[in-house]
Amino acid sequence: MKLFKVAALLLLTAASSQAMAEKVVVLGIQQAVLASEAAKQFDAKLKAEFSDEQALLVDLEKQAKAAKDKFEANRDLASPEQLKQLRSQFQKVFAEYQRRGKELQQKNMQRQQVFLGEMKPKLDIILKELIKTEGYDVILAKSATLYAKPEVDITPKVVELLNQQ
């Protein structure tokens, strides 16, 4: 019974502190960062930087498909030794395709993490300024809310301020 009273007291305290928060807004942090001009420029730069590797990956994919098609077409006609060689060719090309694809994906993710790390201080400055000028009591992550009126979503405002920097 004592545990129930403590839980009820904690619930009432949490509810009363939420009731005291007058200006509650939501922010889609990732949405704001990715919608910024800096993110669009970064994306274009990344695509240009990795274009050669992407072209090689597309070529390897075509080679793997051709090797698989050749294996499938000759399955009933070729000798076991020829089938073994065709299967080996396909597996070799496919393994190279997977390895290069994974490498490219890792490089891309690393670069994105660096970009997000560079954007975090800018976002922090903007949020501190908004809290100060707008008097926000609570900023909730948009992804953690079940419902929020569009008027309390500050994501577009944050995107605009990111673009001004």
- Domain ranges (residues) in the chain: 21-164
Residues 6+ apart with CB under 8 A from 75: 83
Q: How far apart are CA 58 and CA 50, in angstroms?
A: 12
pLDDT over threshold 90, residue 63: yes
Q: How far apart are CA 165 and CA 24, in angstroms?
A: 25
Residue 21: the pLDDT is 61
pLDDT tens-place string over residues 85-110? 988 999 999 999 999 999 999 999 99
Residues 139/127, Cβ–Cβ less than 8 Å: yes
Averaged pLDDT, 53-81: 90
Residues 35/161, Cβ–Cβ less than 8 Å: no
Q: How far apart are CA 45 and CA 151, in angstroms?
A: 34
Q: Which of 32, 30, 39, 29 is nearest to 160 (CA)?
A: 32
Three-state DSSP at 12 gives: helix
pLDDT tens-place string over residues 106-165? 999 999 999 999 999 999 999 999 999 999 999 999 999 999 899 999 999 999 999 998
Greater model confidence, 12 or 149? 149
The listed CATH number (3.40.50.450, 3.40.50.150, 3.30.910.20, 2.60.120.620) that belongs to domain 21-164: 3.30.910.20
Model pTM score = 0.67
